[in-house]
Amino acid sequence: MAGNRSKWESNVAGRLDLITAWARDGLIEAEMCKRLGVGVSTFNVYKNEHSELREALKNGKEISDYHVEDSLYKRAIGFTYEETTREPVLVEKQVNGEKIKTMLSPKLVVTKVVTKHVIPDTAACVFWLCNRKKKEWRNVSQVEYREVSEYEDMSPDALQAEVEKLSKEIARADNLK
């Protein structure tokens, strides 16, 4: 256990902010272990022993999850944003009888701002609803089983005759209404 304590202090304890950032960026714990120079089983021991490590991982993952959820929601309902175009300021000069364009300044100047709208994304809508309203939006198709009907053993000609007979009965019922 003393070996674990020293690696905790030297490799992990001072890097909790970095661990939070890695979790936010989507790194899996095995990759974090490589970067920290500790084994996966040792890392799991540290998680059990140190609430601050568990909290760092949780906070990083929650931040990422929130941003992804927010992005998915925006894609599902559509959103508006501004697109800014920046360009260099060019000046035309005459040099040896030729027109040459040169930059007046290395800074870029805003030349236009356009408001754009992203339409709602159907796939994002379906994904959101399938996960948030499972009963109403599940993708599972239900198969209905029924007993063998009297029509299944009929020949095609007999089946056609039955269809014509039933069609006439339906037409007569419609005339009675």
Angle ∠(122,128,134) on CA atoms, nearest 5: 120
Helices (H) and strands (E) in the chain, counts: 8, 2
Flag the least confident range among 23-27, 47-51, 80-84, 142-146. 142-146
Using one digit for the tens of pLDDT, what is the confidence trace for 24-75?
A: 988 999 999 999 999 999 999 999 999 999 999 999 988 888 888 999 999 9
In this prediction, residue 144 carries a pLDDT of 54
- The Cα–Cα gap between 91 and 26 comes to 47
Residue whose tokens read 């300044």: 105
pLDDT for residue 41: 94
Of the chain, the end-to-end C-alpha distance in Å amounts to 88
- Does residue 82 surpass a pLDDT of 70? yes
Which pTM value belongs to this model? 0.48
Given a cut of 90, whether residue 107 has pLDDT beyond it is no
Confidence grade of residue 147 (pLDDT, cut at 50, 70, 90): low
Give the rounded percent of residues in the chain with a pLDDT score beyond 70: 88
**Domain ranges, ordered by start, for the chain:** 2-76, 79-118
pLDDT band at 169 (very low <50, low <70, confident <90, very high): confident
- The tokens 């754009």 sit on which residue? 116
